[in-house]
Amino acid sequence: MATQIDPAPVAGTRPRHVAIIMDGNGRWAKARRLPRVAGHKQGVEAVRRVTRAARDLGLEVLTLYAFSSENWRRPVEEVRDLMGLLRHFLRAEIATLVADNVRLRVIGDYRALSDDLVALIDDALARTAANTGPTLVIALNYGAQAEIAAAARRLATAARNGAIDPAAIDEASVEAELTTHDLPPLDLMIRTSGEQRLSNFLLWQAAYAELLFVDTLWPDFDAATLAEALDIFSRRQRRFGGL
């Protein structure tokens, strides 16, 4: 389907859409003989810093992996701590997001979270929906395989109902069913803490994203680390299968 592939942008450009797998909070805490939750708290500070930096650096979309659909496998106390921090973050940050003209988006099955969190999220989404500035996407209870399976389910239902022809299903039809369908293409995926895997994050969207694995632990990530990542991106040559 060559027709739907954008021509390769020239090197030296700035990414429009950056995603970050925020990893290493636990190791940050362990290195300081602190409980893991202390690392998650510092991780929230990093989210604040990096969200601001992304805006200052002119990114259109910053997508942050905050809680995966597999993170429920963690001990209940840790899940509770993470949800508590999310609650605190939403309450504390909503005014800033509104003031900064940031549009909040959530991907993932956040409706499976506790009722009060769902209400907080819905409120934050509603209050920032009309904003026209950069978009902050938070992935909550997100799994890329589940996202793709849900897209397949909807297409299958539409085909069964006769609304679409199965033979006409192509990449664009699947893409249109993803939660990211109206966002600019993912340009750069960063993972912190030295791990080199995607852990079920944006698998479809990462097809031609540049991948960057940095050793920095998430709580240490700051504006300078982000600026450095953008600099590395600007020197990558993207070919999208062409020459």
Tell me the β-bridge partners of 105: 137
Residue 197 binding ligand IPE, by CB under 6 A: yes
- Name the minimum Å distance from CB 37 to ligand IPE: 10
Residue number closest to ligand IPE, CB atom:
26
> Is residue 199 a contact point for ligand IPE (CB under 6 A)?
yes
Q: Using the minimum distance from each CB to ligand IPE, give the nearer residue, 18 or 155.
A: 18
- The one of ligand IPE, Mg ion, none whose footprint includes residue 103, by CB under 5 to 8 A per kind, is none
Residues annotated as catalytic are 23, 71
Judge contact between 143 and 200, C-beta under 8 A: yes
Q: Rank residues 23 and 81 by Cβ distance to Mg ion and give the closer one.
A: 23
Query: 186 Cβ partners below 8 Å, 6+ apart?
Result: 17, 18, 19, 63, 180, 202, 205, 206, 209
Q: Is residue 135 a contact point for ligand IPE (CB under 6 A)?
A: no
Min CB(196)–ligand IPE separation in Å: 10
Q: Position 182: which residue type?
A: D
* Binding partner of residue 67 among Mg ion, ligand IPE, none, CB cut-off 5 to 8 Å per kind: ligand IPE
Summarize as ranges the residues that interact with Mg ion (CB under 5 A).
23
Distance CA 223, CA 53 (A): 5
- Distance between CA atoms of residues 113 and 124, nearest Å: 15
195 binds ligand IPE (CB under 6 A): yes
As given in the structure block, the two tokens for residue 228 are: 């450095």
Q: Which of residues 46-65 bind ligand IPE (CB under 6 A)?
A: 65
Cα 48 from Cα 61, distance rounded (Å): 15
Give the whole-angstrom CA distance, residue 29 versus residue 34.
5
- Give the whole-angstrom CA distance, residue 106 versus residue 99: 19
* Residues in region 5-24 near ligand IPE by CB under 6 A: 21-24
- Cβ nearer to ligand IPE, comparing 124 with 190: 190
- Size, binding site for ligand IPE by CB under 6 A: 18
Instruction: Tell me the closest approach of the beta carbon of residue 108 to ligand IPE, in angstroms.
Output: 10
Comparison of 23 and 187: residue with beta carbon closer to ligand IPE: 23
Strands (E), 98-201: 103-107, 135-142, 188-191
- 78's tokens: 């840790």
Cα distance between residue 238 and residue 16, in whole Å: 14
Closest CA to 233 of 203, 207, 209: 209
Q: Quote the least distance from Cβ 76 to ligand IPE, whole Å.
A: 14
* Residues 150-189 interacting with ligand IPE (rule: CB under 6 A): none
Minimum CB distance to ligand IPE, residue 242 (Å)? 32
Helices (H), 8-128: 25-31, 36-56, 76-99, 115-128
By the criterion CB under 6 A, which residues form the site for ligand IPE?
21-27, 65-68, 71, 82, 193, 195, 197, 199, 218
